[in-house]
Chains A and B, each alone.
Chain A
Amino acid sequence: MVLKARHKRFILIVIGLILIGLAARLILNAFQSNMVFFYTPTQVQKGEVPKGTGFRIGGLVVAGSLKREDDGMTVHFLITDTAKTVPVIYKGVLPDLFKEGKGVVAQGKVDANGLFTASEVLAKHDENYMPPEAAEALKRAKTQGTNSLVLPK
């Protein structure tokens, strides 16, 4: 059977559309499965965060909370939104701008005991500037009226 030129073109267009559809599906799937959500320490304490998958938390590093294990590379610190605090463990070199009392964003998972294991610690901002996630966490804690802790300096 010989296909007419018109039919041939029609088949080509259909194949093209299917391929573009597949590409769109691939992109959207990848997008959905790699989205990282942001939560505040209050939400972490309330258990409103996903179990088993990674997410980001932001806030301030509580002054005096930074402890190092003997290997020198594993650190423990607390992140607060001034309402609630979350303990964090991280193994690796902290970024240049990581400082106690300053804003920080960490990405990782939380375990059953509420310990947040960070795979990445971000502090991409200058001395006076707060990462937007950290600022957001403080703002939310403030508007919820649960501001019981004194802001660490």
Chain B
Amino acid sequence: MIPEIGHFSLILALLVALILGSVPIIGAARGNAVWMGLARPAARAQFFLIATAFICLAYTFASKDYSVGYVASNSNSKLPLQFRIAAVWGGHEGSLLLWAMILSIWTVAVSMFSKHLPDDMRARILGVMGLISVGFLLFMLVVSNPFERLIPAALDGRDLNPLLQDPGMIFHPPMLYMGYVGFSVAFAFAIAALLGGQLDSAWARWSRPWTTMAWVFLTLGIMGGSNWAYYELGWGGWWFWDAVENASFMPWLVGTALIHSLAVTEKRGSFKAWTVLLAIGAFSLSLLGTFLVRSGVLTSVHAFATDPRRGLFILVFLAVVIGGSLALFAWRAPTVGRGGKFSVISRESFLLANNVLLAVAAMSVLLGTLYPLFLDALGLGKISVGPPYFDTVFVPLMTPALFLMGIGPIARWKNATLPELAMRLRWAFAVSVATALVLPLLLGHWTPMIGLGLFLAFWIFASSVHLVRQRLAGDRATLLARMKSVPRAWWGMVIAHIGIAVFTLGVTVVKGFESEIAVRMLPGDVAHLAGYDFKFEGVQDSIGANYTASRGQLRVSKNGFERTVLSPEKRLYTVQNMPMTEAGISPALIHDLYASLGEPLEDGAWSVRIYHKPMVEWIWAGAVLMALGGLLAISDRRYRVRRKNLTEEKAVTKKSVVKKAVVKKPAAKKTVSKKVSAKV
């Protein structure tokens, strides 16, 4: 019964999505307020229906109903409850439901926080999101229905892939999808602007917090995935340039370009067409990511499903979304008008250069990810491009991008001069060069790559310090008051940039100074790495909820003093008879000590891998700082105050004393008053 309620809710949701995707858009074209007004209740109804379906599926998993095919393939009666719930998105069908559910959450959020938007704009945005939802719901109902019954019912489920039985599974996919799907808001804003022909600073300001929010989720989602791979796979790596990872990284690169391009569009009115193109690109790559990971075209732990009909449906869907929006772009973009002029040396130019570098980087990832697939699909042979390709490409592309990051925020809009910039940044430059030359020698050895990485990291640190000092200069008020007078969005930028520096530092140090050994160890044997002694104390058997484990113990000491104990595990998940490695890690700010068990050898010996990973935690700390910066930027007053002013003004407008309202509130910016008077 419950699965049928879920199924029925999905069908109703599709009908509502069809209304949401058509009526308000037509209403906006005809200026029909009633039709446009339908968008908000429809968005809510859709959310309610999809959430019902989602809860039904979660309940089916929790109650161990193996008469539903999807549940039987992805769960098992011995699976702990938290993983049974997380198993909702453990396979193809359920992840699509999660996608649709998150899309409906974003849609409702837009309908709630868009009171300040013109009615036609809001109707178009919600309508476009409704159309995307139609695509996904149709896809689910036609070829990937998670509620399909299995006749006869299975006695027990085939279990969730043991790789996914980890707390990471509970947080990583929803976070990542919040990011992916969040770009649909930016996309819908862009399409709505193209349809309505309104693409100005106000549009960019409305679009910015939504885009940044999606970017924050995506950043955290990717970070979580990277950290999960680090401790779960037992190889000590944090990024593998795997197609699944690339699928999430491409929208991130383009999304990063987008939030910077939006800044220029808001402040200077430039880059309009480019911003729209990036919004289309970020969302298209999110869709492509979903396609890559969820259609079975990749052989990876993330892709279990193999069904050509699904692939075909997504290909057609992709073609319609990308082709349609690009066609609309080609048709309408020439009407958006040109922005303000700027000279070669200006903040606009630096941002443009960074945008292009990020876009080129995304293209290079796309090539490395798709080209092997194309060759394979065309029967031209199997090839693979691994980390060496991406490493070779990313260093020369990201070096100028990171260098420009230090200059951009300091340069003036419209027109800056090189000698002045050089004068202002000379100390930052000197400090970073000196660090790049000296620090590696203190740490052990110097290579050009270590020098380059440290230079870039400290260049961003030092130029950020200069930027903050310059901004807080003056003696009129107390330091605290001056700090408060600077908008939060600005602090957000500084923190996110420092996050990049922290990330770069972590990557450089871990790549330059990490060490590892793989040894055969008998109980009592001692291995030496990076000045530490690792004493292997043998392995003990233990039993988990749905696995048996061999739990090893390594006592770590330095100069005779015990420092920590590592407990790597080798698990055997009994349902699928699948072995899994759980690394034993002692994380710290300076370095991680990491051990994983290989295979049991004769006489109670094991092959053991031990890693010393200096500053590896900085990689994820950097990503957290980027996300914090993004959150701080979203909380900026100008996004809220405007809204408050506007609601006040609206209240006054209702009393039809518009002119007074505008006079009374001279603080309200022009755009707002214009909008109010235009409406009246």
- Inter-chain contact A73/B520, CB cutoff 8 Å: yes
The verdict on A133 contacting B388 (CB below 8 Å), with A23-B397, A94-B598, A124-B301 known, is no
Q: How many A-B residue pairs have CB under 8 A?
A: 85
Question: Of A20, A30, A94, A124, which contacts B299 at CB under 8 A?
Answer: A124
* List of B residues within 8 angstroms of A149 by Cβ: none
- Is A36 an interface residue when CB atoms closer than 8 A count as contact? yes
Question: Of B393, B580, B581, which contacts A26 at CB under 8 A?
Answer: B393
Interface residue range, chain B: 35 or more
* List of A residues within 8 angstroms of B367 by Cβ: 27, 31
- Is A151 an interface residue when CB atoms closer than 8 A count as contact? no
- Is B337 an interface residue when CB atoms closer than 8 A count as contact? no
CA distance A133 to B344 in the complex (A): 51
The verdict on A37 contacting B383 (CB below 8 Å), with A30-B389, A31-B371, A124-B301 known, is yes
- Inter-chain contact A34/B360, CB cutoff 8 Å: no
- Is B392 an interface residue when CB atoms closer than 8 A count as contact? yes
The verdict on A127 contacting B300 (CB below 8 Å), with A34-B385, A94-B599 known, is no
- Inter-chain contact B385/A72, CB cutoff 8 Å: no
CA distance A131 to B299 in the complex (A): 7
Residue of A nearest to B376 (CB): A132
The verdict on A31 contacting B385 (CB below 8 Å), with A12-B344, A97-B579 known, is yes
| Shortest Cβ distance from residue A127 to the other chain B in the assembled complex, whole angstroms | 6
Q: Which of B299, B518, B577, B580 has the most CB of A within 10 A?
A: B299
- Is B356 an interface residue when CB atoms closer than 8 A count as contact? yes
CA distance A73 to B527 in the complex (A): 14
- Is B237 an interface residue when CB atoms closer than 8 A count as contact? no
- Inter-chain contact B381/A96, CB cutoff 8 Å: no
- Inter-chain contact B397/A96, CB cutoff 8 Å: no
* List of B residues within 8 angstroms of A14 by Cβ: none
The verdict on A72 contacting B601 (CB below 8 Å), with A38-B384, A124-B300, A126-B161 known, is yes
Interface residue range, chain A: 20 to 34
| Shortest Cβ distance from residue A27 to the other chain B in the assembled complex, whole angstroms | 5
- Inter-chain contact B598/A93, CB cutoff 8 Å: yes
Q: For chain A residues 82-110, which have a beta carbon within 8 Å of chain B?
A: 92-94, 96-97
Question: Of A30, A38, A73, which contacts B393 at CB under 8 A?
Answer: A30
- Is B382 an interface residue when CB atoms closer than 8 A count as contact? yes
- Is A71 an interface residue when CB atoms closer than 8 A count as contact? yes
- Is A150 an interface residue when CB atoms closer than 8 A count as contact? no
- Inter-chain contact B382/A73, CB cutoff 8 Å: no
Question: Of A12, A37, A96, A133, which contacts B581 at CB under 8 A?
Answer: A96
- Is B609 an interface residue when CB atoms closer than 8 A count as contact? yes
* List of A residues within 8 angstroms of B397 by Cβ: 23, 26
Residue of B nearest to A92 (CB): B518
Residue of B nearest to A19 (CB): B356
CA distance A35 to B372 in the complex (A): 9
- Inter-chain contact A34/B580, CB cutoff 8 Å: no
* List of A residues within 8 angstroms of B344 by Cβ: 12
Question: Of A73, A97, A126, which contacts B518 at CB under 8 A?
Answer: A73
- Inter-chain contact B360/A35, CB cutoff 8 Å: no
* List of B residues within 8 angstroms of A33 by Cβ: 392
| Shortest Cβ distance from residue B580 to the other chain A in the assembled complex, whole angstroms | 6
Dominant SS at the B interface?
mixed
CA distance A131 to B579 in the complex (A): 17
CA distance A36 to B609 in the complex (A): 27
CA distance A71 to B344 in the complex (A): 63
- Is A68 an interface residue when CB atoms closer than 8 A count as contact? yes
CB 8 Å contact bits of B295-327 with A (1 = contact, 0 = none): 000011100000000000000000000000000
- Is B364 an interface residue when CB atoms closer than 8 A count as contact? yes
CA distance A37 to B389 in the complex (A): 14
- Inter-chain contact A93/B599, CB cutoff 8 Å: yes
Question: Of B382, B389, B578, which contacts A31 at CB under 8 A?
Answer: B389
* List of A residues within 8 angstroms of B392 by Cβ: 30, 33-34
* List of A residues within 8 angstroms of B234 by Cβ: 96
CB 8 Å contact bits of B571-614 with A (1 = contact, 0 = none): 00000111111000000000000000011010001010100000
* List of B residues within 8 angstroms of A36 by Cβ: 383-386
CA distance A68 to B576 in the complex (A): 27
Q: Which of A68, A73, A127 has the most CB of B within 10 A?
A: A73
The verdict on A34 contacting B607 (CB below 8 Å), with A26-B396, A73-B520, A93-B599 known, is no
Residue of A nearest to B363 (CB): A27
- Is A125 an interface residue when CB atoms closer than 8 A count as contact? yes
Q: For chain B residues 445-492, which have a beta carbon within 8 Å of chain A?
A: none
- Is B182 an interface residue when CB atoms closer than 8 A count as contact? no
CA distance A56 to B518 in the complex (A): 23
- Is B368 an interface residue when CB atoms closer than 8 A count as contact? yes
- Inter-chain contact A56/B384, CB cutoff 8 Å: yes
* List of B residues within 8 angstroms of A92 by Cβ: 518
Q: For chain A residues 49-82, which have a beta carbon within 8 Å of chain B?
A: 56, 68, 71-73
* List of B residues within 8 angstroms of A96 by Cβ: 234, 578-581
| Shortest Cβ distance from residue A39 to the other chain B in the assembled complex, whole angstroms | 9
| Shortest Cβ distance from residue B47 to the other chain A in the assembled complex, whole angstroms | 36
CA distance A141 to B518 in the complex (A): 35
- Inter-chain contact A126/B578, CB cutoff 8 Å: yes
| Shortest Cβ distance from residue B44 to the other chain A in the assembled complex, whole angstroms | 41
Residue of B nearest to A31 (CB): B389
- Inter-chain contact B382/A97, CB cutoff 8 Å: no
12 A/B residue pairs, CB under 8 Å, sorted by A: A20-B356, A30-B393, A31-B367, A35-B383, A36-B383, A38-B382, A38-B384, A93-B598, A124-B299, A124-B300, A126-B161, A127-B577
A interface residue numbers (CB < 8 A to B): 12, 20, 23, 26-27, 30-31, 33-38, 56, 68, 71-73, 92-94, 96-97, 124-127, 131-133, 136
What would 9 more interface pairs be, CB under 8 Å, given A37-B381, A124-B300? A27-B360, A30-B389, A31-B393, A34-B392, A72-B605, A72-B607, A73-B607, A93-B598, A97-B578
B interface residue numbers (CB < 8 A to A): 161, 234, 299-301, 344, 356, 360, 363-364, 367-368, 371, 381-386, 388-389, 392-393, 396-397, 518-520, 576-581, 598-599, 601, 605, 607, 609
Nearest 10 CB-CB pairs, A to B?
A: A72-B520, A93-B598, A34-B389, A38-B382, A30-B392, A96-B579, A34-B388, A27-B364, A36-B384, A30-B393
